[in-house]
Structure 1
Amino acid sequence: MRLFASAPPRRTTDRLPLVLAAVLLLVGGLLLALPDRAGAAADTLISQGRPATSSSVEDSTFGPEKAFDGNATTRWASAEGVDPQWIKVDLGPSATVSRVKLVWEAAYAKAYRVEISADGSTWTRLATETAGNGATDDWTGLTGTGRYLRVYGTARGTSYGYSLWTVEVYGTTSTTPPPTGAFTVVAAGDIAAQCTASSSSCAHPKTAALAQRIAPSFYLTMGDNQYDDARLSDFRNYYDKTWGAFKAQTRPVPGNHESYDPAGAFSGYKSYFGAIAYPQGKPYYSYDQGNWHFVALDSNTFDDAAQIQWLKDDLARNTKGCVAAYFHHPLYSSGGHGNDPVSKPVWQILYAARADLVLNGHDHHYERFAPQDPNGQATADGIVEIVGGMGGAEPYDIETVQPNSQKRISGTYGVLKLNLTDTTYSWQYVGTDDQVKDSGPTYTCH
């Protein structure tokens, strides 16, 4: 039995007997001449090349974008043996969907839903399959409006995962130009404990491998890159063996542990990263990617007037439409360290400059907050803060849940996968098992 949110859509499958298929082809040809078929003939493919995300991937060669690249020989594949799984496409600010065509690989869904959403959080069902047999499912006669469409698999047809050669979404879109300049960034804080891959409990080799599988444009670190005292010898013995594999693509900031080096505060950090961490001669710097302006700050020295003045001047010069800042100490956190008021003056500057996103570490958990102002008041023009301190250090418990905290995860190591365009941002918290543990909403830059 199939359940529908509106009038039942029509699904065809390429597993029909040849004679029946021939009859349907003949009837379909005759129906094309009828007036009420004119609209269906005008359906336009609106999903090809659009930004895509998924609950998991088998590995980086089977990313969700492969189902929307127009190439019939590439595919998305989820992690094996786990239900449920999903794949989602961003169709643009507003789309009306009339048809969805799914070309399954051998790892198909026995049961799944086709759903649409305006915000990526609340979903409306367009079609439901409860007895899928793979190959091609062509859902026609659909009626749905929204920005995001996803295929949500609830039961696998095999012992493997879910895999789609192609997802084609047909309909119409608004005249608003689609987001451009899309790129991906991986971020994490609190990374290299003094252990190696020879220990099964050592987490930073696993988060490093995950970060490499995602294959982003570049990597961010939010401090406490090396434990416990961030000596140069420790960087070489631990961090360099894992996250050091993509050191040249990393844009780090220091945490409080970098200041503990007996050879001098930040000595090992500065010696290891060199100009990568000090591109402008200071432990704070900025750079651009697409329509994004990134500001990397040293929250150990937020009382340094020179850094504060530099930040004001840097933001005044910025010409990009989206702004992200990252530093170690979070203004708001539900973890063991809790809220850190040292960051409030910086938040006030960022808020006045209409910054969009702040990334932090320090507390060893994952947490996301709704947009808020420096005083912790929820507001649509506020800053979204994410704590991402699960890069490898021992997890901290959630202690006092703060206002505007929307999601908290402790005990699961992973990284942030940031999906950025010229006008929007969203993210996923991905665990070292390649499973998506949380997905943030899609926000439009201020």
Structure 2
Amino acid sequence: MENNKKGRFSILKIPDYKDLPKWKIPFKIFGRIIMFLLFLVCGVGLPVAVAIFWEDIVYQGTYDFFGVQLSTIVIAIIALSILVPIGIYGLIVSVKMIITDLQMKKFRLTLAPKIGAITIIILSISAVLYYTPGWYLYLGINPKWGPYIAFHGDDGMQISWDTRSKTESKIVYGTDPNNLDLEATGGEYFWETGEKSLHHCVAITGLTSNQKYYYKIPGFDNNLYYFTTAPSPTSGEEVSFTILGDTQGNLNIQKQNIGCMNAKFGIEGLNFTVVCGDNVNDDDNIAEWDMLFNKQSYGKIAPYVPYHVSSGNHECGTMNDDPDYPPRQNLKLFHQNKFLKTREIEPGDWDIGYYYSFNYSNVHMVILDNFNSNEELSDGQVDWLIQDLERNSDNWKFLCFHHSMYSSSDHGSYPDLAEILEPIMHEQQIHAIFYGHDHIYEYYEVNGTEPHKTYCFLCAGGGGSLKQVTNPEKMGERVWPTEQSYVNEWGNYVLEIGSWTTDDRFETQYGWEWQVYAERTHHYMQVSVDGNVATFNAYRTVDNSLIKSYSYVKT
């Protein structure tokens, strides 16, 4: 009886090191060290990080905190108030535990530090799942995305999607949702057929203009999708599209912008959507591409609304600066176009050039590439641009690219780019230009007193961190002066250079005399074209409120 009692208690007691097999001792010490590091990060690392990046935290304004929009300062306070006490207490316990272990003595671990460690782990996992839903892609698991569509030539539409295992690339479609009697096939690239693949792109051509089509993807899902083809330039159909830049893997802002677009215009109220480059931070970061194709982001509207992009500087790089990585490999895979099959690299260029154009009703949209030749427009691209604009002389002519031709923000203006485009703007009567790169909203009216004026919009509020425009260390001599900038009711800095002439510090900034309005805020733009009138609206991401609206009457 006594032996049984002794045996029973020996099972429940905390073993001493002398009771442990030698091979278990290193694992036990390793576990203690891991717990120590976990509490160290929360108790010391977190407040140090907040202190270092406090200025950036303050400048960000608001952020999505697990579905609730809060001030970034409030979020920092919540995180510190929860995690720092747990971290400090756990750190003290961990140090005692490690010291006791090194002395080969017993240490009774109470319930409190265990609960603290479990709390930290649960919060960390919740944050990863909420803010990086594609975390599993870092483990080498293939994504399942799509479908998403884009215009393909004058009479076509291309449909793309991704599967976790290799399957054939086939869609069925038709004008009657109950009778999808047509079929189209493709491959990893739209011109390939027959080979099974993970990425799929199917191009359908010969479609009727301004016609609604329905489609399904056999073996992918059972959903019925639809799209409407572009009306002809002479149709007189009204046009509505959205445009922004620099999504940069920020699912938080992307979700809000797509939600705002959907709430204000609906899928039926958008004819296409465009991103002005820096879609992701690194071209090979699949988890960031996942944030774009996520069903709460562009994946919510892209099965129905043609989705086009330009290239930014971030698509030209990789996470590890891999010199052997093919230039912009994923950009050209996920966002294909007809030129991919036929265009060759020109002498002196590093890539084929990601530039193309498409029409919707009387709107001609040109996507340019700032990066196919030493971060500028190649001669071949400029020649193509002029010819392309001449072929569409009667239409509204809009340009989209990445580098900020005129900007009062961090990177400033690019005079070399302006020197190339300004003569073309005037000679070809370009009506509006959209670009990104500097993360603010800004509007320039170039040659506003002349017959052929051009509206230029810096619309880089799609997700990248907002620029610290009033910080001299970040902006240098181009810092937004407090006497000419102000904070509006949304807490955003605003700059209107054209409304004052008492300060000449911006005269070194190319194009400053055409600047009309700038606001430091995440945002998106919506453009409406009705006959000879185009209206350019900019909306804040935080509450879908109107920033500014400008109208252009084409003569």
TM, length-normalised to structure 1: 0.53
Pair 1:439-2:548 in alignment: yes
1:290 Cα deviation after fit: 1.6
Please give the per-residue CA displacement for 1:149-208, whole angstroms capped at 9, x wherever unaligned. xxxxxxxxxxxxxxxxxxxxxxxxxxxxxx953221100000033x54xxxxx3222112
Out of 434, 437, 442, the residue aligned to residue 359 of structure 1 is 434
Pair 1:336-2:391 in alignment: no
Out of 321, 332, 337, the residue aligned to residue 275 of structure 1 is 337
The structure with more strand, counted as a fraction of residues: 1
1:426 Cα deviation after fit: 1.2
The structure with more helix, counted as a fraction of residues: 2
Q: Say if 1:192 and 1:238, in contact at 8 Å, map to a contact too.
A: no
**Cα separation, 2, equivalents of 1:328 and 1:414:** 16
Out of 217, 229, 245, the residue aligned to residue 271 of structure 2 is 217
1:230 Cα deviation after fit: 2.3
**Cα separation, 1, equivalents of 2:331 and 2:515:** 32
Aligned to 2:79: none
**Cα separation, 2, equivalents of 1:403 and 1:297:** 25
Distance verdict in 2 for CA 1:224–1:320, change over 3 Å: same
Q: Say if 1:390 and 1:413, in contact at 8 Å, map to a contact too.
A: yes
Pair 1:293-2:350 in alignment: no
Aligned to 1:245: 300
Aligned to 2:253: 203
Aligned to 2:350: none
**Cα separation, 2, equivalents of 1:387 and 1:278:** 28
Q: Say if 2:399 and 2:433, in contact at 8 Å, map to a contact too.
A: yes
**Cα separation, 2, equivalents of 1:206 and 1:280:** 38
Distance verdict in 2 for CA 1:394–1:318, change over 3 Å: same
**Cα separation, 2, equivalents of 1:253 and 1:277:** 14
**Cα separation, 1, equivalents of 2:378 and 2:243:** 26
Percentage of matched positions with identical amino acids: 20
1:234 Cα deviation after fit: 3.4
Gaps of 5+ in 2: 1-234, 344-352, 470-474, 479-496, 498-511
**Cα separation, 1, equivalents of 2:401 and 2:339:** 13
Secondary structure, aligned partner of 2:334: helix
Q: Which amino acid aligns with 1:403?
A: E
Aligned to 1:422: 531
Q: Cα RMSD over matched residues?
A: 2.5
Q: Say if 1:370 and 1:406, in contact at 8 Å, map to a contact too.
A: yes
Q: Say if 1:297 and 1:326, in contact at 8 Å, map to a contact too.
A: yes
Secondary structure, aligned partner of 1:299: coil
Q: Which amino acid aligns with 1:309?
A: D
Out of 405, 409, 413, the residue aligned to residue 522 of structure 2 is 413
1:378 Cα deviation after fit: 5.6
Q: Say if 1:293 and 1:320, in contact at 8 Å, map to a contact too.
A: no
> Which entry has the higher C-alpha Rg, 1 or 2?
2
Aligned to 2:238: 182
Secondary structure, aligned partner of 1:394: coil
Aligned to 1:316: 390
Q: How does 1:1-400 map to 2 (within 5 A)?
A: 180-193=236-249, 195-196=250-251, 202-213=252-263, 214-215=265-266, 216-227=270-281, 229-231=282-284, 233-241=286-294, 242-247=297-302, 249-261=306-318, 262=322, 263-275=325-337, 283-301=354-372, 302-344=376-418, 345-372=420-447, 379-398=450-469, 400=478
Q: Say if 1:253 and 1:298, in contact at 8 Å, map to a contact too.
A: yes
1:342 Cα deviation after fit: 3.5
1:266 Cα deviation after fit: 1.1
Distance verdict in 2 for CA 1:314–1:224, change over 3 Å: same
**Cα separation, 2, equivalents of 1:277 and 1:431:** 35
1:279 Cα deviation after fit: 8.8
Distance verdict in 2 for CA 1:247–1:264, change over 3 Å: farther
Distance verdict in 2 for CA 1:434–1:218, change over 3 Å: farther
Gaps of 5+ in 1: 1-178, 197-201
Q: Which amino acid aligns with 1:322?
A: W
Q: Which amino acid aligns with 1:271?
A: L
Distance verdict in 2 for CA 1:243–1:406, change over 3 Å: same
Distance verdict in 2 for CA 1:303–1:219, change over 3 Å: closer
1:270 Cα deviation after fit: 1.2
Q: Which amino acid aligns with 1:343?
A: L
Q: Say if 1:251 and 1:277, in contact at 8 Å, map to a contact too.
A: no
Distance verdict in 2 for CA 1:397–1:320, change over 3 Å: farther
Structure possessing the higher relative contact order (Cα contacts under 8 Å, 6 or more residues apart): 1
Bigger Cα displacement from structure 2, 395-404 vs 379-388: 395-404
Q: Say if 2:236 and 2:362, in contact at 8 Å, map to a contact too.
A: no
Distance verdict in 2 for CA 1:181–1:189, change over 3 Å: same
**Cα separation, 2, equivalents of 1:181 and 1:290:** 6
**Cα separation, 2, equivalents of 1:275 and 1:226:** 19
**Cα separation, 1, equivalents of 2:468 and 2:451:** 29
